[in-house]
């Protein structure tokens, strides 16, 4: 039996070697894989990234490699910036949150407002049900405020402000968005450190801020990293709508859409928080529904 296995392995080795030699002799050229360039200077939310440290530089390169060569997903995330940044940026400014946190949103959801993680985090900011509830968001099977772009952004801002107040650093606030305030503070205290780049953290959090930084780099200079996008390629903002309020006890969204001159599909394009065909609104909660106006669909 052992002799048979050895013979099979030797045969496989001969075949692989023969194939490799055939490729070399054919003079085929393979597409080049380029190592992504690391900027000479980099900041996050006005805080300097210590690129002179080998571990910082290697961590950033790892995320640049991973994100740069995840072409289709990264392309779609970049294309969506022009649709969702105009909504996110004014809310960040309203709460005095540094503008760089819009890149954290990219890292969280890929700017897909309908995404839900295996752990149950939902929406652009990937809020868990408990966190959403803490900041006034209702999460149900028929209506879920975590998918509401404006409301979820406000909730994320409130969380980030609380983190910054507790930790004293925007970079640490970004890390806490992944790990949680208590978990991060416990590790800082245990290790006697005061900043993200000096602290040993769980693998996901060790990579997290660098993933956010990677999206900042790619967004600001996408063509230099191989993502060639013309102005016409970017997604158009979905900002041509009116607000219709409803507090009906039972809402049939298909009928509601038709009564307001649109379709259920377009209603869902503007109101991601609608999660089903109907809503049993037993509490008579008043809902603000975005209704597309003329020419909305033809961009």
Interval 146-158: pLDDT, tens: 999 999 999 999 9
228 lies in the same domain as 252 = no
What pLDDT was estimated at residue 22?
59
Residues 267 and 138 in one domain: no
- How far is Cα 91 from Cα 112, in angstroms, rounded to an integer? 18
Q: Is residue 199 part of a domain?
A: yes
Instruction: Report the pLDDT value the prediction gives residue 6, as an integer from 0 to 100.
Output: 46
CB of 275 closer than 8 Å to CB of 142: yes
Tell me the residue range of the domain where 99 lies. Answer: 43-233
The encoded tokens of residue 197 equal: 């780049």
Q: Alpha-carbon distance 37 to 39, whole Å?
A: 6
Q: What is the pLDDT of residues 67-82, one digit of tens each?
A: 999 889 999 999 999 9
Pairing state between β 43-44 and 250-252: unpaired
Could you tell me if 222 and 274 lie in one domain? no
As a whole number, mean pLDDT of residues 17-35 equals 66
Instruction: Give how many domains the chain has, as a whole number.
Output: 2
Q: Which of 233, 255, 271 is the last residue of a domain?
A: 233
- Asked if the structure places residue 38 within a domain, the reply is no
């Amino acid at each position: 039996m052992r002799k048979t296995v050895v013979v099979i392995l030797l045969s496989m080795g001969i075949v692989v070697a023969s194939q490799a030699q055939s490729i070399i002799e054919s003079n085929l050229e393979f597409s080049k894989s380029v190592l992504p360039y690391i900027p000479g200077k980099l900041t996050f939310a006005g805080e300097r990234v210590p690129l002179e440290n080998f571990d910082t530089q290697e961590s950033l390169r790892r995320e640049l490699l991973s994100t740069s060569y995840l072409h289709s997903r990264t392309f779609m995330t970049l294309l969506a910036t022009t649709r969702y940044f105009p909504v996110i940026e004014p809310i960040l400014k309203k709460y005095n949150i540094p503008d760089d946190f819009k890149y954290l949103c990219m890292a969280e959801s890929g700017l897909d407002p309908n995404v839900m993680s295996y752990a149950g985090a939902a929406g652009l900011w990937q809020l868990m049900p408990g966190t959403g509830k803490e900041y006034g968001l209702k999460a149900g099977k028929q209506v879920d405020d975590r998918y509401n772009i404006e409301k979820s952004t406000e909730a994320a801002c409130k969380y980030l402000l609380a983190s910054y107040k507790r930790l004293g650093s925007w970079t640490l606030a970004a890390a806490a968005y992944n790990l949680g305030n208590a978990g991060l503070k416990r590790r800082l205290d245990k290790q006697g450190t005061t900043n993200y780049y000096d602290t040993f953290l769980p693998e996901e959090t060790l990579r997290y801020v660098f993933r956010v930084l990677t999206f900042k780099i790619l967004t600001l200079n996408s063509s230099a990293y191989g993502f060639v996008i013309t102005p016409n390629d970017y997604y158009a903002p979905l900002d041509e709508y009116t607000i219709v309020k409803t507090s009906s006890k039972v809402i049939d969204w298909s009928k509601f859409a038709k009564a307001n001159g649109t379709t259920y599909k377009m209603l869902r394009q503007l109101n991601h928080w609608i999660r089903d065909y109907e809503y049993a609104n037993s509490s008579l909660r008043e809902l603000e529904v975005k209704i597309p106006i003329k020419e909305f669909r033809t961009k």
